[in-house]
Structure 1
Amino acid sequence: MNSESSTPHVTPRLDLIGIVTSDMAASLAFYRRLGLVFEAGSEEAPHVETTLPGGLRVAFDTEDTLRSFMPGWQPPADSGRLGLAFHCGTSAGVDAVYEELVAAGYRSELKPFDAPWGQRYAVVLDPDGNGADLFA
């Protein structure tokens, strides 16, 4: 008997985006500014999740949490391996969110501009160097 024919087909469904952070409180503060909601006191937790409209979840784990089950884990040498894109409604919304984040001390990677593909677009880096794309 062919084992492949007896195995039911499963179609995976994206359910969770996981982000490893070196500073939970700093990461949650950044993403709260972008509209994500986390329970009060989450800053002290080793693992934090939030559910977005539509059911997709975003989770944050501390570096120590990863090392608890992958003892040799080290952060990547370079940053920018993850980018989350946030729709800001309008071009003015992109500019306003960008200015608010930069004024709060977050690093700009790309100032707002009118992209050739028709969007107003900018990128601000989270505390771990991951890009948060702002667009409309």
Structure 2
Amino acid sequence: MNERQPDDGDAHVESLSAITLATHDMSRAVRFYEALGFRMLYGGANEAFTSFALGSSFLNLTSETHGPIPFWGRVIIYVSDVDAFYRKALAHGIEPQFAPRDAPWHERYFHLTDSDGHELSFARPL
């Protein structure tokens, strides 16, 4: 049985927000998802980041222009408190890529990489 650590506070996972996939050709990728009927919310063919509605979640595209795509993508997980979840990760010896910050797409977030190299983003709408 896992006992709750005293430093966990009330920070907890709430839902899966989005999946972000890397692409070498944003214009081609945007055309593909628009052809499938995905509704664009942010970005576009000439942008480095694009977000589509996917029910109550999102499918994001991020542009990778140099060499092979270095990662498979990113899972974005909504949490109750981004800063508290960041402190929780640090308290467990997990080193996030950067401290929580506010994004122009109106989320507070930070990223970390799991032991297999998968990128996880913990976020909360602003």
Asked if these proteins are the same fold (TM beyond 0.5), I'd say no
Point out the structure with the larger strand share: 2
TM-score (norm: length of structure 1): 0.41
Higher relative contact order (CA 8 A, sep 6+): 2
TM-score (norm: length of structure 2): 0.44
Point out the structure with the larger helix share: 1
Greater gyration radius: 1
